[in-house]
Amino acid sequence: MKTIDELLAEGVAGKRVFVRADLNVPLDGTTITDDGRIRAVQPTVAKLAEAGARVIVASHLGRPKGAPDPAFSLAPAARRLGELLGADVAFATDTVGESAQATVAALADGQVAVIENLRFNAGETSKDDAERGAFADQLAALADVYVGDGFGAVHRKHASVFDLPARLPHAAGFLIATEVGVLKKLTADVKRPYAVVLGGAKVSDKLGVIDHLLDKADRILIGGGMAYTFLKALGHEVGISLLQEDQVPVVQEYMRRAKERGVEFVLPVDVLIATEFPDLKTKAPANPSTVAADAIPADQEGLDIGPETRKLYASKLADAETVFWNGPMGVFEHPDYAEGTKAVAQALLDSPAFTVVGGGDSAAAVRLLGFDEHAFGHISTGGGASLEYLEGKTLPGLAALED
């Protein structure tokens, strides 16, 4: 895989360099609520511009239906990128049409442009190779060189991720090189004890990575909505908590295999409960109560790990040498249910381990809860991509960058 340093050594001055970034940031209207992904790609864009390239930044945002939708415009991301670069960033109001062509043609050496949301074109996500390829051809006409730096999208077989690199000389940006280097530390020559913390809503989203980690991890700590499927698998009442009943047999099998292999599953011993889900807009006090994990009332819902579980999890992370964390421990967006996620984040900071926060809601939680993200070993920009890498899957966007 060619690195951006090698590309820069060859010279990019005057060349149109297409950077496939991940600017898929959360928006409140047109206000960016977490700019982490934009900041992550800024070094690559800045270095290319400094070297005299004419930089074309492209990304998806959200899931529009293959047609323009103002709610998913990249205009706010383009403005924020300009602020981070300290320079004007041009913005094309389409992907490969007149605006994109004119905007790219107007670039001078060292200037940057962002084109509109790639998913406004149905060819970006099409499962039809010919349709996807046709869109990739149009994108290729805009550029001379391709740089892949959108790690959050490398697990997608999309036109700008998979097909476009085959049409242009290509290299991996700084972000992708960093992400892959970090993930290799979680899969090869891992320093032990190796602890994994998994949370989030659905256990089905994590089954693949759990299956793979049963051969690698020393202990797996479970929290979030997925914990209630594990508790149900032990025969406990979980009330109206989030539950994937159809996954209970799978979870039971994983727990059996873990015991055989000496992998420790650590589950909540107490939880915060309430009769209804909290209001995340008003953040009105929820007044939760705490019960043992095997004593959730039938009319109550578990929404965070309890204080004893927080202590337990901190103790299980204290002696770890490597920690991977993906998924919050509760409804961290509400202050009454943020303590579990906050406790895990603090435990990672207190641990001497090499710590990786696996993107998505976990990364958002770290920033929302006021932690210094630079204090962690690494915060990934791609939750789904990180998980699929740890599952041992081939990621299309990485395969496409291989020479």
Location of structure tokens 């790690």: 151
Active site residue 384: yes
The residues near 403 (Cβ < 8 Å, ≥ 6 apart) are 1, 2
Spot the catalytic one: 15, 16, 20, 37: 37
What phi, psi does 379 have (nearest 5°)?
-115, 115
Give the 3-state secondary structure of residue 265.
strand
Location of structure tokens 């805009």: 142
Inter-residue contact 384 to 154 (CB < 8 Å): no
3-state secondary structure 218-248: CEEEECCCCHHHHHHHCCCCCCCCCCCHHHH
Q: What is d(CA 34, CA 149) in angstroms, rounded to the nearest whole number?
A: 18
Inter-residue contact 109 to 116 (CB < 8 Å): no
Active site residue 367: no
Spot the catalytic one: 200, 327, 358, 384: 384
Spot the catalytic one: 2, 202, 257, 311: 202
What phi, psi does 75 have (nearest 5°)?
-55, -45
Active site residue 37: yes
Among the listed residues 157, 159, 155, 134, the one whose alpha carbon sits nearest the alpha carbon of residue 146? 159
The DSSP H or E segment spanning 301 is strand 301-305
Q: Is the peptide bond before 193 cis (omega within 30 degrees of 0)?
A: yes
Spot the catalytic one: 150, 360, 383, 397: 360
Active site residue 202: yes
The residues near 191 (Cβ < 8 Å, ≥ 6 apart) are 321, 322, 353, 354
Active-site positions read 37, 202, 360, 384
